[in-house]
Structure 1
Amino acid sequence: MTRIAYLVPGTGLSDDERDRRERVANAFTPDHVGVDVVVATGAGPSSIESGVEEVWCVIGSLRTAHEIQADYDALVIGCFGDPGLRALRELLDIPVVGPAEATFYTAAQVAHRFGWLTVLDATVPLSAEQAEEYGLADRCVSIRSVDAPVEGIDHESDALVERMVSVGKQAIEEDGAEALFPGCMSLSFAQRHAEIEEKLGVPFLDPASIALEQADAWARHGVTQSARAYPTPKMEKLDDLLG
């Protein structure tokens, strides 16, 4: 069995929502995959909607990932901002997958031009920066907000689905997007992709399933991050960080 840790940074995930996401993740992954949703320990933001909160959450993620890595074959970062992706790849021996990175490159394979639906107007600049970072800014033609603060997202909300469809249609018709995805893992775990895709008429990708499937594939095929690209830090300097 491939064991994957889905590591949620920050402190805002309730026990009930953690359990729900774990059930959802294990339902859409193959039978040979076991997913544990692990919430990072220690201080951190209740949600991640700014650059400050992205940086703040990384410390807890690094500590928790270091503690649990021996129990898992791969790790997926449970935030679409991919916070700490480089640091986690330097620290861990197991493959580390960022859902945004995995989804970006999938979108670039299924469409010439793509876009995504981010949660707030305030997260649009962060999203644009991610597109630049992953070298796909010329392919990313649309970043639009659905006005859905992370802590208020209701995965059963039909109104939120309709808002995603409405904003998605604008991205397609006005910006030229040929594929879309939600730029938030809370939106992803709403698992309403099929109905949204049917209404939009273009691929509406699921970052959670894409990231977990990639983690499984890497683990099974022995693929992990290059030590030349992500060299191991001097561990003797990290005692205060890792404990």
Structure 2
Amino acid sequence: MTDVVYLVPGTGLANEERNRRERIANELTPNHVNVDVVEAPGPGPSSIESGVEEAWCVVGAMKGAYDIEADYDALVIGCFGDPGLRPLRELLEIPVVGPAESTFYTAAQVSHSFGWLTVLDELVPMSAEQAEEYGLGDRCVSVRSVDAPVESIDHKSDDLVERMVAEGRAAVEEDGAEALFPGCMSLSFAQRHEEIRERLGVPFLDPATIALEQAASWARHGVSQSPKAYPGPKFEKLGELLEIRG
């Protein structure tokens, strides 16, 4: 059995939604993969919709990831912004996967130009910056908002699907996107990808599936981040951050 933890930064995930996401995550992965959805310890933001909130959540994510590393074979960061990707890869020996990074590179493989749907207008600049950070700024031709604050997202909402279709169609027809994906894990876990894909006529990728499958595959094949690229920290300096294991 390959055990993967989907670590949610922040403190806003209700138990009912955590259980729903855990059920979906296990449905999305093969039978030999077990996925646990775990919320990082606080304090932290209830949702991540700014650079400030993104930075705030990383401390709790590091503490939580370090405490549970021994129980898992791989970790997926439960936020599309990939908050803490570098420090988590430095801190842990198990593979750490960011949904945005894995989805970006998948989109670049199945298309020449891609775009995505973020939740708020305020996140458009951060999203474009993220594509640049991953070296794909020239392939990213569209970032559009569906005006859906994270804490208000209803995975059963047909209105939200209509907004995703409308903005997605504009991204394809006006911006030249050849593949799309939701730039938010709450949108991803709405699991409306197939109907949106059919209506848009281009790949509409699911970050949850891609990230979880990559994490499980890396763990199964012994792939993890290079210590040359992500050298470990000096743990003797981290006493106030971590409960150092003996």
Q: How does 1:77-116 map to 2 (within 5 A)?
A: 77-116=77-116
Cα distance between partner residues in 1 of 2:23 and 2:121: 31
Q: Deviations over 1:66-98 (max 9, x none)?
A: 000000000000000000000000000000000
Cα distance between partner residues in 1 of 2:28 and 2:208: 9
1:24 aligns with 24
Residue 140 (1) aligns with residue 140 (2): yes
Cα distance between partner residues in 1 of 2:38 and 2:172: 36
Corresponding letter in the other structure for 2:70: A
Corresponding letter in the other structure for 2:108: A
Cα distance between partner residues in 1 of 2:191 and 2:118: 16
Q: CA RMSD in A?
A: 0.4
SS in 2 for 1:215: helix
Residue 177 (1) aligns with residue 177 (2): yes
Q: CA deviation at 1:212?
A: 0.2
2:121 aligns with 121
Q: CA deviation at 1:28?
A: 1.2
Q: CA deviation at 1:136?
A: 0.2
Cα distance between partner residues in 2 of 1:238 and 1:208: 31
Q: CA deviation at 1:149?
A: 0.3
For normalisation by structure 1, the TM-score amounts to: 1.00
2:209 aligns with 209
Residue 238 (1) aligns with residue 238 (2): yes
Corresponding letter in the other structure for 1:177: A
Q: Deviations over 1:155-195 (max 9, x none)?
A: 00000001000000000000000000000000000000000
After the TM superposition, which parts of structure 1 deviate over 2 Å for at least 4 consecutive aligned residues?
none
Cα distance between partner residues in 1 of 2:76 and 2:146: 25
Cα distance between partner residues in 1 of 2:212 and 2:45: 24
Q: CA deviation at 1:230?
A: 0.2
SS in 2 for 1:175: coil
Cα distance between partner residues in 2 of 1:67 and 1:136: 34
Q: CA deviation at 1:50?
A: 0.3
Cα distance between partner residues in 2 of 1:16 and 1:61: 21
1:164 aligns with 164
For normalisation by structure 2, the TM-score amounts to: 0.98
Corresponding letter in the other structure for 1:227: P
SS in 2 for 1:143: strand
Q: Deviations over 1:97-127 (max 9, x none)?
A: 0000000000000000000000000000110
Corresponding letter in the other structure for 1:118: T
Cα distance between partner residues in 1 of 2:77 and 2:42: 16
Cα distance between partner residues in 1 of 2:167 and 2:209: 23
SS in 2 for 1:117: strand
Q: Structure 1: where are the runs of 5+ without partners?
A: none
Cα distance between partner residues in 2 of 1:10 and 1:42: 7
